[in-house]
Chain A
Amino acid sequence: MNVTDKIIEIIAEQAVLETSDVTKESTLEDLGIDSLGLVESIFAIEEEFNITVPFNANKPTNNDFDISSISKIIEGVERLLKEQLG
């Protein structure tokens, strides 16, 4: 399974939606994911890809990791995979 599919699966589970309801253009807000859900999603991503995501819940929009849409999250994870797993 590729990175995109896996992330959509993680986000869908968190939002209690079908994977078909989650698109790359979706935002977390659209999907009804609150701050606790976001932190749990970040954890699930870290566990799945064995990476560390630089994310501080005190300033969610001001991190090195862009969470403004699913496609931004996918880009971020792909970048971290390159950096951290080389």
Chain B
Amino acid sequence: MLTKEQVIALIKEALEAEAITESSSADNVPEWDSLGHLNILSMLDTATNGGIADLTDLAKANSVNKILAILASRSLLMR
């Protein structure tokens, strides 16, 4: 399981963005484009040891909040 802070740090690293917060999304982070999103999915897959394999909703989850919600729904996020 990941903490919220770990997920945010992961997204920041995946996007090579200067700052990522809970309110970050593809709408307000220039680096969050289609390739950036692939990086996020790839790193989440590694960080969860393949745990996101069936979370198809993540393909369209273009914000930190959406990602956190999906991970929480499958008990991949520590409360």
Q: Does A associate with B in a complex?
A: no
